[in-house]
Amino acid sequence: MRTTGFAHKSVFRTSVARWLLVLATGSAVTACSISNPLSGVSDTLGHIGGKVATVLPGQISAADKQKSLDLLRTGDAAREKGDLEAAAIGYAKAADADPSSVEAQLRLGSVSLVRQDEKGAMSAFEAAQNLAPKNAEPPFRLGEIDLTHGQAKAAADQFATALEGRQDDPKLYNAMGVALAMQGKYELAKQNYDKGLTIQPDYPALRNNYGLMQLATGDFPAALDTFSALVATSQTSARYRLNRALVEIAMGQTDAALADAPGIDEAGLRQTLAIYVAPSQEEADSNTGRIGQALISGDGGKSPMPTVHLAVDTPAAPTATAETTTASIKPLAGLPPSTTP
């Protein structure tokens, strides 16, 4: 079982710099655990996992299929109102009504992640993957969870599976690039970033990660250009100013770095920079684990070290199939986005 704890360092009484997933939509939601039993769906509302189908699609009656679609709509309506527990219950019941429904499992996984029910999300995505082995969405989402635990090799394996089914999605190349860069495989990471940029040249999240790779490999002028372009064009330029500050401190431009990262001193910047400068393989393996721990850190204290943003844009929600196009499916982010500027 994966752990979700984070060992805090005594230095400044805070964690190492946190790498945070940057999402397109959604909001941070605190998971609630309620002990009331939900017959036929889950033991508790705190964990609602997906179930692997025990019947073939052709064995599902038309009435059960319709019931599942109605429950999907119920879940969607609850989600739109912000009632994530009711949404999870609706999706879980939809999956119970039609155990062959990939849509129900994907929606259950997505809302479970927002509820910070990682175990339930993994169960649902694994169930969806068993139902539709060639669907790129489940392995992408499972790989994303692996990344948050620093399990870069496992994540890369999942992203490779996703790319087998969808080779025209820059989001997947971005994610694969991140997983490879976390392993110190920078040339392979570059190849994936380049493929993603060929498909979508103005992809901010990917360019951000490209800049972090340039920083890690010592190509400081290129990294500075990358982050400066992001600062000039992005509405969330504060995210990229923090990353640019690391490049500036590496280039000896201390005044510029401190201006880009107000409230953070030079020592904090240099301590963070040490994480990203290309290390030996032994150090790279160690840093991968630290980065994974940092991704799941819930430390809310004010750190003197900057938040460095690793950007993995998740899909808002699985695309509706023909049978659920009337369900009024709206975007739903998987993991909660950063609450920092």
* Span 298-331, pLDDT tens digits: 333 322 333 344 555 444 444 444 333 333 232 3
What pLDDT shows up at residue 274? 87
pLDDT over 70 (residue 241): yes
* Span 85-139, pLDDT tens digits: 999 999 999 999 999 999 999 999 999 999 999 999 999 999 999 999 999 999 9
Q: Strand pairing partners for 42?
A: 38
Residue bearing the bigger pLDDT, 82 or 234: 82
Q: CATH topology for 11-29+187-324?
A: 1.25.40
Q: Is residue 291 within 8 Å of residue 272, measured between CB atoms?
A: no
| Chain position carrying tokens 């380049």 | 194
The span from the CA of 89 to the CA of 84, in Å, is 9
Q: Strand pairing partners for 38?
A: 42
Q: Is residue 209 within 8 Å of residue 181, measured between CB atoms?
A: yes
Q: Where are the domains of the chain?
A: 11-29+187-324, 30-115
What pLDDT shows up at residue 276? 78
Residue bearing the bigger pLDDT, 41 or 160: 160
Percent of the chain at pLDDT exceeding 90: 57
Where is average pLDDT lowest: 38-42, 126-130, 162-166?
38-42
What pLDDT shows up at residue 272? 87
pLDDT, average across residues 27-35: 28
What pLDDT shows up at residue 287? 52
pLDDT band (50, 70, 90) for residue 191: very high
Q: Is residue 56 within 8 Å of residue 100, measured between CB atoms?
A: yes
Can 11-29+187-324 and 30-115 be said to share one CATH topology?
Answer: yes
What pLDDT shows up at residue 139? 96
If you classify domain 30-115 with CATH, what class do you get?
mainly alpha
Residue bearing the bigger pLDDT, 292 or 176: 176
- Which DSSP letter does residue 261 get? S
Q: Using DSSP, how many helices (H) and how many strands (E) does the chain show?
A: 14, 2
pLDDT over 90 (residue 232): yes
Percent of the chain at pLDDT exceeding 70: 64
Residue bearing the bigger pLDDT, 319 or 27: 319
Where is average pLDDT lowest: 141-155, 240-254, 314-328?
314-328
